Amino acid sequence: MSESNTPNPQEENRGPQEPQQPPYPPVPGQPPYPGDPTKGPQTPPPYQAPYQPYGQPPYQPYGQNPPPFQKPPRAPSSPETVRLYNILSYFSFLWIVGLIADHHNPKVRFHVNQGILLSILELILGIAVGIVSSLLTSIFSVGFGPLLVFSQLGATVVGLLKLAQFGIIAALIIIGVMHAVQDKEEPLPVIGTLFTVVK
């Protein structure tokens, strides 16, 4: 007989063997040790997302991209505020107020464009009248210096040019302000349909 079949006298004296105990004692309030043979097979608890405070985006597992940030919608301006922006657009460079404050509004953009065209015309007329005035002043003062009549005539012509410049700009401002007050989108005469600056 082989040695493996011979009983070991030390094993016979041990008596019945007790079931193996888990390596760690069970803790009250927690599931038993998964390897505990007396408790049977254990299933893990269902997955629960971690607590998220109110107002924060939902929990995203690792490896997933968060949703893109969406800007909250902008509250529209009141009709009185829009009318104020439209009126200011026709006074010198005050169209920049409506351009910065409410450029998303199509009515404000229209009147801002008209104000920009009016500012360009005012600048061009100012440069042109200044050049013509200096030329007339030099001609009448140098060429007809001894004759006082011609010097006065030159000053009168220069004054009429500046008055015409002021009258043209003032008339266009009044027309534009009337359109803004009446909430109309009508272009200014002559210059209102040349081109669009703000789209």
Q: pLDDT tens string for the chain (199 positions)? A: 445 555 555 555 555 555 555 555 555 555 554 555 565 555 655 655 555 566 665 555 555 566 676 766 666 778 899 999 999 999 988 999 999 988 889 999 999 999 999 999 999 999 999 998 888 877 777 655 555 566 677 778 888 999 999 999 999 999 999 999 998 899 999 998 888 888 8
In degrees, rounded to 5, the angle at the alpha carbon of residue 99 between the alpha carbons of residues 97 and 101 is: 65
CA distances from 142 to 124, 129, 146, 160 (A): 27, 20, 9, 21
Predicted confidence at residue 194, as pLDDT, reads: 87
Rounded to 5°, angle at Cα 182 from 179 and 188: 10
Determine phi and psi for 112, rounding to 5 degrees.
-65, -40
- 81 close to 108: Cβ distance less than 8 angstroms: no
End-to-end, the C-alpha distance of the chain in Å comes to 105
The pLDDT, as a whole number, for residue 152 is 75
